[in-house]
Every structure is written in C-alpha cells, then in structure tokens.
Structure 1
Amino acid sequence: MPTFQYSAIDGSGNRTQGTLYAASLDVALGQLSRDGMNVEAISVMTSQADPLTQAPPPVVHEVPTHERTYMQTNVVGRVVDKVPLSKLMFFFRQFATMQRAGVPIVQALGTLAGQARDGKLNSILRECQGHVEAGRPVSFGLQRYPEVFTPLMVSLIRSGEEGGYLDRASDLVANYIQQDIQIRDEYRRATLMPKLTIGASILIILGANAFIASQGSNIRIWSPLTQPITWLYLGPIIVGLWLFFKIGLANPAIKARWDQFIINVPYSGHTLHQFAMAKFGRALGALYSGGVPIQRSIELAADSCGNEYVRALIYPAARKLQEGEGIAATLQATGGLTPIVADMLATGERTGNVDEMLTKVAEYYEEEAKVRALVLARIVGVVAIICVAIYVLIVLIKFYTGYFQMQFDAADNATMIWTLR
C-alpha cells in the first residue's frame, strides 16, 4: 500500500502537513475529505516504479459529441438543472490541486466525479473523463454544458490547456467563483431586512384584514401589494424579468446587447468593466508567459473576460499587433485601459516584464472593482430600506386616512340623527 504525503487546510483554517497510507489516490482523497481537510497538494512518497502507485489503465467510455439541443441547454438546464456555485468552486480547486500534484487528467476527473455529491456534476465529469480518454481536451466536455459552465470558465480552461498552465487556470476559475459567491452573499445580507419587511407586511396585512372581517368590522388595512390589480400588472413583469435573466441571456446576441447596456450604467458599469479587464489581464499574462503567440493570447484572454461587449472591443487589438504596434498602445486604443494601467503596461513592455505587469494590472483592477462592488451592495441595501420605509408610510397614511374618515362619517351620522330628534 503506497504512502501519500499531503498539505491541506483543516476545518479551523490551519494549514497542516502529514502522511497517510491508502490503497489509491482516490481512497486517500476520500479519507482526507471525510476528515474535513481541504487538500492543497498530495503526492506519492514511494517510488514511482512501485506498481501500487501507477494509475489504472484507462477504460474508454462511449461519450456523446453531438451538440445538445437549445431546450436542454437554455431552458431546462437553466431553470431546473443547475449546479451550485459552491460545488463548482470545490471542483475547480480540487482539480487544480491534483494537476499540480501530477495526477493524470483522466484519473483526476474520475476521482472528482466519485466525490461529487451533485448528480448533474457527477455525470458531466464522467463525460469529460470519456472525452479526455478519447483524446479531446477538458474544455470540449465543459462547453457542452453552458448552463453549468459559463463562457468565462470554459475560456479560462481552454487558455490553460493551450498555454500549459491548466492548474493555474483552474485555480483562477475557482477564485473568480469564490469572488462571485462573496459579492452575492454581500447583496443578500444588504437586502435581507428590506425583503423580510416587505414579506412580513404582506402577511400581517392579509392576516389582520381576515381577522377584522371575521369580527364584522368594515375597517380594512390597505396595501398596494395586497391588491389583485397590482399583481395583474406586476406578476407578468416579474415573470418576464425572470425568463429574461434565466433564458434570454443565453442567446449570444441578447447577451452582447445586455453587456453593452450594463457597461454604460453609471458606477456599476465601471465596476463590471474593471472586473472584465482584471480577468483579461490575468489570462493574458499567463498565456504570454506560457509562450503562446501574442495574437492568439489576446484572443483567448478576450474570450476569458466574461463580457461580450468588452470582448468585441479587444478582438481588433489582436489584428493590429500584426501591423507592428506595441501591446500597450494597441490595448489602450480599445478604450479598456485607464492611463495609469496603460503606463504600467508600457513600462513592462520596455523592460521585458509584460506578464508580470499584466498580473499587477489584474490585481489593481480586482481590488478596485471589489471595493466598488461592496460599496454598491451597501448602497443597494440603504436604497432598499428607504423604499420599504416609503411603502410602510403609504400603508400607514392610507390606514389612518380611512380610519379618521370613518370616524368623521360616524360623527356626521350621529349629529344628523340628533338633529332629526
């Protein structure tokens, strides 16, 4: 039985190193996972000539290569067949770890498929394993499931395959997914109280009206959200928006138009532009350092930026490089770089450290964009609270207006009766 040495992070967040005996790498990873360890690196300590350390011979499986239907990818897949982002992040993180440890891709995919508790992800990884056994790249299998793997994820993995840095590309995908999860959680926290207030107000008003009606009183608490006419108009709007974001944005033409629109939205558009340029810079730096031709590097990096509008701006830069223009001047002409970043890139071009400067550019954009995104989340939370306060004020004004009107009417009736007597 081989001995494995590993480096992992335990449940308390502490990095630990150790060894363990296991029948295979799959068993070792499974044991560490059950112990709550997030494995960073693992390798066999015994001689590679030991037959126990050799990967089992591949078994080629029949896998589909045809294009999946629009209904499968853009309707059913996006509505009921999604894979949680947290599980995708775990997959890419573990895949990167196994690639750094020198585990063959086929074996890594098989191991991770066995560990995947999500049925959809398990079947995708089994299929990807079959594609790799048949000589196809991992990205070929991933791109067949656009409802699970975004163009950004597929493009980064493809660039890693072509640039020879698949482990770093997988880590990069995991980092971006983690960043996305953090920003989404921040928005959820910022809007939790307004959402609870709106929901509670609807339930309380409906319950109060039902109780008052049961007592035989004519007093009613009015709210725009409890009126059927409101939902007659609001319902189709909500359903339409849900279908647009779930299904409509899967159409490349609609996605390009939408990306162009959100890029031009004040403040938030600039933040999204910075995130796109950060992804572009990281991918381009890794490809450039990997020896991929600069024109192909720019095209792959543009595919990896995650924004169709920014991608369309950058693509012409690849052709201009053939005319002999410098990298910094070409990219600055796209309008995607700030003057400071353009100067940093020009300095890197003069000193021969383009890849290093591109990484610094990406870090600059990521930090600034992340701060802006968190600030925007807090602004959204404050605006939501103000909107809820206005809504509650309208309900109170409407209630007391009706209440006092009822009192005045009762007083007028009493006066009229007294006069008639």
Structure 2
Amino acid sequence: MEEYTYRAIDKYGKEKRGTVTASSVEAAYEKLRAMEMTPISVEKANIFNKEISIHIGKAVKPRDLSVFCRQIVSMIEAGVTIVDSLAMLEEQTENKVMAKAIGGAKAEIGKGETLANAMAKYPDVFPDIMVKMVSAGEASGKLDIAFKRMASHFEKSARLNAIIKKAAIYPIIVALVAVGVVIVMLTFIVPSYSDMFAQMDMDLPAITKAVVAASEFMIHKWYILLAIVIAAVVLIRYFKQTESGQVFFAKASRNGPIFGKLTIKSAASNFARTLSTLIYSGLPMVDALEITAGTMTNYLYRKKVEEAREEVIQGIPLSEPLLRDNLFPPMVGHMTKIGEETGQIEDMLNRLADYYDEEVEMTTQTVMAVLEPMIILVLAAIVCVLIAAVMAPMLSMYQNLDNI
C-alpha cells in the first residue's frame, strides 16, 4: 500500500488536498470517489509533495482498534444502538485521534450513511480490512460477529508487532548509547589529553593521531558532520519512496543474516491471518487479496500478493503463484493448496497464521540471543579503541623512562 497526494472537490463543492493510502493510482481514484469526492489530480506522494500532518494525540495502533471492536461487541449484545455506542465510545476513548474519528463516523451515520461508509471516510484510523468486514457484517446481519473477528485479528496483530518491536528496541538503544559514549569521549575526554600529547617530544601512535584528529573535527567542525547526517537521512527517505529503493530495502530486510528469517515469517503470518479474516467475512478471494496486499509492509511480498491476485482473476489457483518462486515459505503454498482442494482454505490459513505467530516468537528469542553478545562486543571494541588511543602514548612514555 502506497501513499498518494490528491486534489479533489468534495460533495459541498469545496476543493480539498490531502493524502490517501491505496495499492495503485486507480485504487486511489476509487477510494476518493467512495469518499464522495471528485478527483482533480492524484500522484504518488514523495518528499516534495507529501503533506506534513500534525495530529494532537497518539497514532491509532492495532491495540486501540481491538479494544474498540470489543467494546462495540459488548454494546451491540446489550441492545445499544450503533449511534449510542459510538457516542459513548467517543467520550471514553483516550486516544484523541481515534475519538475524533468515532465522533465523525457517528455524525455521518446521522446523515444516513451506513457504519462501513462512515468509517471509510477516516482511512487513517479505520483500515480497509475493518471497513470491508463491517460492510459484510451489515449486509449479513452479523455485525457483532464481524467485530468479534476483527477484535481477535487486531489483538494478534498487536501481539506480533510487540514481539518484533522487542527485538528491535534493544539494538537501537545500545547503538544510541554507543554513539553517545563516542561523542562524550571525543568531545570531553580526549581533548583533556591533547595538550599533554602535544607536549610529548615523541611520535604518537597512529591510533592516537586518528582519535585526536576525530576529536578536533568533532569539536571545531561538528556542523559538517551534522549536515552529512541530515543529508543522508533525507536522501535515504527519498530513496525509500522510489520503487528501486523499496526493492532494495525489501531485499535487504528479507535476506539479512539476522532479521531475514523474522521478516519472512512475519510476512507469512500477516498474509495468512489477514486473508483468513477477510475470507471468513464473505469477501471474494480477489477483493480479499487486494486488501491483504495493502497490509504487507515488505514491498516484495506486497507485489507478490498483487501478482497472485491477477492470476486468481485469470482462474489460476492461489497456491500456484505462492509456490512458484519460494518468496513465501513452501508451507504457505502447500497448506493453501490443501485448503483449496478440501474447500477449507479459511481454516488452513488460520492454522498457518497460528503456526507462524509461534515461529515469529521463537525467531525473535533467537535473534535476541544472537544480538545481545554481538552488540556488547561492538560497544566494548569502540570503547577499547578510544582507551587504547589515550593510553598508548602514556605507556610508550613510561617505557622510554624505564630505558633511561
């Protein structure tokens, strides 16, 4: 799923600009029309035309959506109307962004919109999968079941995200600590020894010269380093928005020596869980695959699901493209094939998702077990280099004194 900036005319005749998330330009146009807007122009968002939006409140997370769904189910089962349910949830929801969207949806229902159409007007809060499930629930008269299914889906998604973040947060914190240690030593510790080194009538070791030069650069020309870092961040972000950049980072994520297996198993779990949920709601396979592709964060897997959707449209079983190039683990294709042959594809996909959820958790533990000693060794090596640079001239001086 990619972001597109748009100019459009709303149903009141006012021009609006904004950003919409969709799988293609055509899908972006369709989404705008579904929001009762007449598109003027739609183009892929980039660093130059993307809107900078500032929200007062935290971003909506899967955990927030799961709680919302559980509360809706409780109120529906208690006989409370949807409008009254949304009114109560608007007041008690702590997340301001979500509370505003709930209030907006309630207002749209008051104008005669269905709940699904009302939620579709807030794509930054209510994802496509949720809107489609609610639409199917309204059509079948089983809205409470649809929300129950979505609550389970978002709970498992939140748990999986928490596991992956746990694996990523430790190396990030240690890396920041390492950078902080280097900056402090180069800025405060090394300069305190520089005058002493300058007074020594001896040739300094190469490692000391290098560290002293780095210290002087850090103190007197720090702005150059800052400019380089900012330029690098901007260029990387721009590169990631290009197709070649997305392919590069997707391959790096999938083929990486440590996080590669975690990426593959997370993609398999997300694919199976989302597709199973959508098929359960009664969505046709083609529509379910389109939404599932939009939930895949890795570019390679998103494109693979989109290609599989095109082949399904042509009458080819889903299992064939999944098995063709081994982008997904072979088990995904084989279990899908069994589900197609037995007519129980939803059950097979659900089993797959449960299996890969466990695999993600086990892989995360393995990654942490490998990363912890590696990071400690790297941090120790950096500190040892700086200490060696300071101590080497002093040890050399003491040896010269002993030889006198």
TM-score by length of 1: 0.65
Q: 1:374 aligns with which of 340, 362, 365?
A: 365
Check if 1:92 corresponds to 2:42: no
Structure ID, larger Rg: 1
Partner of 1:76, secondary structure, is coil
Q: CA deviation at 1:158?
A: 3.5
Native 8 Å contact 1:99 1:166 kept in 2: yes
Partners of 1:126 and 1:99 in 2: CA distance: 14
In the TM superposition, 1:43-82 aligns within 5 A as: 66-68=16-18, 74=50, 76-77=52-53, 81=55
The correspondence for 2:387, drawn from 367, 388, 396, is: 396
Which residue matches 1:27? none
Q: Does 1:137 align with 2:150?
A: no
Q: Which amino acid aligns with 1:96?
A: C
Match of 2:294 in 1: 303
Alpha-carbon shift at residue 355 of structure 1 (Å): 0.6
Indicate yes or no: 2:133 matched with 1:160: yes
Summarize the alignment of residues 19-418 of structure 1 with structure 2, pairs less than 5 Å apart.
Answer: 66-68=16-18, 74=50, 76-77=52-53, 81=55, 84=58, 88-101=61-74, 102=76, 104-134=81-111, 135=113, 137=117, 139-143=119-123, 145=124, 154-164=127-137, 165-189=146-170, 192=173, 195-196=176-177, 198-200=179-181, 202-203=183-184, 206-208=187-189, 222=211, 226-229=215-218, 231=222, 234-240=225-231, 242-243=233-234, 249=240, 254-255=245-246, 258-333=249-324, 335-407=326-398
Instruction: Describe the SS at the equivalent of 1:325.
Output: coil
Gaps of 5+ in 1: 1-61, 416-421
The size of the alignment, in residue pairs, is 341
Paired position in structure 1 for 2:28: none
Inter-CA distance 360–188: structure 2 relative to 1 (3 Å threshold): same
1:308-347 Cα deviation digits (max 9, x unpaired): 3212112232232344433323432364443333332222
Q: Distance in 2 between matches of 1:318 and 1:133?
A: 37
Counterpart-to-counterpart distance in 1, 2:49 and 2:89: 23
- Tell me: CA distance 1:283–1:132, structure 2 relative to 1, closer, same or farther (3 Å): farther
Amino acid at match of 1:258: F
Give the deviation of 1:271 after TM superposition.
2.4
Does structure 2 conserve the Cα–Cα contact (< 8 Å) formed by 1:328 and 1:345? yes
Moved more, 94-103 or 205-214: 205-214
Deviations for 1:164-190, whole angstroms, at most 9, x for unmatched residues?
A: 324423442343234323332343345
Q: Secondary structure, in 3 states, of the residue corresponding to 1:326? A: coil
Give the match's secondary structure for 1:68.
Answer: strand
CA 1:67–1:378: 2 relative to 1, 3 Å: farther
Cα distance in structure 2, aligned partners of 1:186 and 1:169: 26
Q: Does structure 1 retain, via aligned residues, the 8 Å contact 2:267–2:298?
A: yes
The answer to whether the 8 Å contact 2:266/2:360 transfers is yes
RMSD: 4.2
- Give TM-score, length-normalised by structure 2: 0.67
- How far has the Cα of 1:397 moved from its partner? 1.4
Indicate conservation of the 8 Å contact 1:155/1:304, yes or no.
no
Q: CA deviation at 1:359?
A: 0.5
> Hey, what's the Cα distance between the residues in 2 that align with 1:226 and 1:132?
64
State the one-letter code of the partner of 2:52: V
Match in the other structure for 1:33? none
C-alpha displacement of 1:138 = 5.1
* Contact 2:56–2:96 under 8 Å retained in 1: no
